[in-house]
């Protein structure tokens, strides 16, 4: 369905006349093993309706129990966002009817969220930072999924029937809501993208979610309004739902700014509504009129105890908050003396975290970098998987590097060892041992091979003796061949020259 044509104002005119205000709502699915209020598994991609039980199907008489690990993740997220953690807060029922929500209400948090009043300083493209104030982060449960069959674009419109999969119903979600973001001006679309990027990287570093926007484990709604420059009262906002890539966040905000500006300049008014984002052409179209909080008839969830994290636990969790990924990146860039471009390539290649982990496992930075960006990147391309899905760990790469540095194997054999690791044959040292790949460094064994090779090539031996040291290459090659490539070539060369004086 192609959207009707919409008037858009030139972006520079938008900026000249209006001040944008943004509000970002991000839902993140936690990576806990089980759901928020029951023991069902949360793994993505299972057969429909195989990960369900009476609790997450909302059957009468079933009772929810809070997942402690999810509360822990929520607190850690709150702390990382510089929020205050509430010492006592209740869950709330958000009542609405929708087929993907079998209880007819969602357990969420309303006026007593786990975390409030924080901020996140996000890095913009020019290296400056922009502070985004956080209003709250609260816990809730995900809904199931409706699959509409027969329609054109998977939407309910035009579908012959719909199927429901409740595997996702009850998966722990954290919703993170910003305060209105003002003062971004022209950079509003960039700020929106930078914020979601920073949040994604932070959540990843916290290890609380796999933050895959394309699989829906990180979902973003972008609220946008405009007010005339100099005005003090915010304009009416629209909420563009489920903007599911970082680029789309920027595109959607910019589009809404241009659309709203055209409406306002033409004397129209903006209706408060949700809007759908269309990935294909970067436009938005109207969704439903926005419910108000009263529509949801929130009330405290009677089946659950309040969440009351004790101060000591919160302080202990504070100790687990990692350095912000972008600050860590800046520190590493300067520690390793890398240019901005090299660093950006490492990040884009998805290699940076792997290199850091390899260094943390004891490898020198240069060697760690070279393995990941060269040989392993090549292997990942061959297998058509992202670098971090290669079946080799940073610790194993560090072990290979250690074996080379200790001259237990040479570089050529190191690649074979890596191939064996990728083939699932075990750890590097184990493989070297089991396959007899260790470097022949026993001088007497090498000496014997050198003498054999010299005796087999008397003319070359003579050349070397008469001072033509380049001729030694052939002898070194023969010895390497005889040792199946497992000798230290530099040492072999020394022995050849020593034998010819
Ligand atoms: P809702 O229930 O409508 O989703 P939320 O409070 O969860 O409301 O989220 C609304 C988001 O929009 C928040 O980030 C808030 O800061 C932001 N916001 C509020 N008013 C405006 C406005 N006039 N323009 C842009 N954003 C706004
Ligand atoms: Mg909301
Ligand atoms: Zn369940």
Could you write out the DSSP letters of every residue in 444-488? HHHHHHHHHHHHH-HHHHHHHHTT-GGGHHHHHHHHHHHTTT-B-
Tens digits of residue pLDDT in 77-90: 999 999 999 999 99
The 3-class secondary structure across 229-248, one letter per residue, is CCCCCCCCCEEEECCCCHHH
When pLDDT is averaged across residues 96-100 and rounded to a whole number, the result is: 90
Ligand 3 center–CA 170 separation, angstroms: 7
Ligand 2 center–CA 25 separation, angstroms: 6
Half-sphere exposure (CA, 13 Å, Cβ side) for 25? 13
Buried b (16+ CB within 10 A) or exposed e, 24-60: bbbbbbbbbebbbbbebebeeeeeeeebbeebbbbee
Atom in ligand 1 nearest the alpha carbon of residue 135? 16
Supply the pTM of this predicted model: 0.82
Ligand 3 center–CA 143 separation, angstroms: 12
Write phi, then psi, for 139 (nearest 5 degrees).
-95, 145
Tens digits of residue pLDDT in 32-61: 999 999 999 999 889 999 999 999 999 999
Question: Who surrounds ion ligand 2 at CB < 5 A?
Answer: 25
Atom 6 of ligand 1: nearest residue by CA position: 177
Atom in ligand 1 nearest the alpha carbon of residue 225? 24
Pocket test for ligand 1, best of 132, 188, 196, 237 (most atoms within 8 A of CB): 237
Tens digits of residue pLDDT in 331-382: 999 999 998 888 888 988 889 989 999 999 999 999 999 999 999 999 999 9
Residue 205: the pLDDT is 93
Question: Who surrounds ion ligand 3 at CB < 5 A?
Answer: 38, 40, 53, 55-56
Atom in ligand 1 nearest the alpha carbon of residue 236? 23
Residue 281 pLDDT grade (very low, low, confident, very high; cuts 50, 70, 90): very high
Ligand 1 residue neighbourhood (C-beta within 6 Å) = 21-25, 135, 177-180, 223-225, 234-235, 237, 239, 290
When pLDDT is averaged across residues 100-109 and rounded to a whole number, the result is: 94
Residue 63 pLDDT grade (very low, low, confident, very high; cuts 50, 70, 90): very high
When pLDDT is averaged across residues 173-201 and rounded to a whole number, the result is: 98
Atom 22 of ligand 1: nearest residue by CA position: 237
Residue 27 pLDDT grade (very low, low, confident, very high; cuts 50, 70, 90): very high
Q: Quick check: 94 pLDDT over 80?
A: yes
């Amino acid at each position: 369905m192609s959207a009707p044509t919409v008037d858009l104002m030139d972006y520079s005119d938008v900026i000249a006349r209006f001040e944008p205000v943004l509000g970002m709502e991000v839902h993140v699915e936690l990576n806990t093993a089980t759901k928020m209020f029951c023991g069902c598994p949360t793994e993505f991609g299972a057969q429909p309706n195989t990960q369900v039980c009476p609790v997450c199907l909302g059957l009468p008489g079933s009772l929810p129990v809070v997942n402690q690990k999810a509360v822990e993740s929520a607190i850690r997220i709150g702390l990382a966002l510089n929020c205050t953690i509430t010492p006592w807060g209740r869950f709330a029922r958000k009542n609405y009817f929708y087929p993907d929500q079998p209880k007819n209400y969602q357990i969420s948090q309303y006026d007593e969220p786990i975390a409030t009043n924080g901020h996140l300083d996000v890095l913009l493209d020019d290296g400056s930072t922009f502070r985004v104030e956080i209003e709250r982060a609260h816990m809730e449960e995900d809904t199931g999924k409706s699959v509409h069959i027969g329609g054109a674009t998977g939407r309910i419109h035009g579908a012959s029937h719909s199927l429901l999969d409740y595997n996702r119903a009850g998966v722990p979600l954290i919703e993170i809501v910003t305060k209105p973001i003002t003062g971004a001006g022209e950079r509003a679309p960039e700020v929106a993208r930078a914020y979601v990027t920073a949040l994604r990287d932070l959540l990843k570093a916290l290890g609380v979610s796999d933050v895959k926007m394309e699989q829906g484990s990180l979902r973003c709604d972008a609220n946008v309004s405009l007010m005339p420059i100099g005005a003090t009262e915010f304009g009416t906002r629209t909420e563009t739902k489920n903007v599911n890539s970082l680029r789309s966040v920027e595109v959607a905000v910019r589009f809404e700014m241009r659309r709203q500006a055209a409406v306002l300049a033409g004397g129209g008014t903006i209706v408060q509504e949700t809007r759908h984002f269309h990935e294909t052409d970067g436009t938005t179209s109207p969704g439903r009129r926005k419910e108000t909080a009263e529509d949801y008839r929130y009330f405290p969830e009677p089946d659950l105890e309040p969440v009351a994290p004790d101060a000591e636990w919160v302080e202990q969790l504070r100790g687990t908050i990692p350095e912000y990924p972008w600050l860590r990146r800046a520190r590493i860039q300067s520690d390793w003396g890398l240019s901005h471009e090299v660093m950006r390539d490492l990040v884009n290649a998805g290699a940076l975290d792997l290199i850091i982990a390899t260094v943390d496992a004891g490898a020198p930075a240069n060697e760690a970098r070279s393995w990941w960006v060269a040989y392993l990147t090549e292997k990942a391309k061959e297998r058509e998987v992202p670098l971090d899905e290669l079946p080799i760990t940073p610790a194993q790469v560090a072990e290979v590097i250690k074996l080379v540095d200790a001259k237990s194997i040479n570089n050529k054999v190191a690649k074979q060892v890596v191939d064996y690791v990728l083939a699932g044959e075990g750890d590097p040292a184990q493989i070297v041992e089991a396959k007899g790949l260790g470097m022949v460094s026993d001088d007497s064994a090498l000496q014997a091979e050198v003498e054999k090779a010299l005796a087999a090539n008397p003319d070359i031996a003579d050349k070397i003796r008469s001072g033509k040291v380049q001729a030694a290459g052939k002898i070194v090659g023969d010895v390497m061949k005889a040792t199946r490539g497992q000798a230290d070539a530099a040492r072999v060369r020394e022995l050849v020259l020593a034998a010819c004086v």
